[in-house]
Amino acid sequence: MEENSDNLVRVSIFGQDYTVKAKADTNYIADVAQYVDKKMREVEEGLPSVQSGMRIAILAAMSITDDLFSVKQEKENVVTQVEDKAVSLIELIDEAIVS
């Protein structure tokens, strides 16, 4: 018999309640929902006039995606720096061994 490890979590995002089913830990799901809610409220506060929930959700999704892309780029930069340093160290070691 296969175990069903999905968790059901009730969350509130931007005044709407949702029941989320996921394999992730319930605290993690709640944290994700809280982050989305926070981003939507930040977007709403930054708008000059009242906007639809859909527009706010899309703008929040773009903001969250921008955060994700920025972190991915930073990660790629760090990996590149580490690889470059590793190559330099290998070259220094090779030179020391040959000398």
pLDDT tens digits for 25-68?
999 999 999 999 999 999 999 999 999 999 999 999 999 999 99
36 three-class SS: helix
HSE value, Cβ hemisphere, 13 Å, CA-based, for 98? 6
Separation of alpha carbons 32 and 91, rounded Å: 44
Residue 29 DSSP one-character state: H
| pLDDT surpasses 60 at 1 | no
pLDDT at 99: 73
Q: What's the pLDDT tens digit per position in 63-88?
A: 999 999 999 999 999 999 999 999 99
Distances (CA, A) of 96 to 67, 83, 91: 43, 20, 9
Are 64 and 39 a contacting pair, CB within 8 Å?
Answer: yes
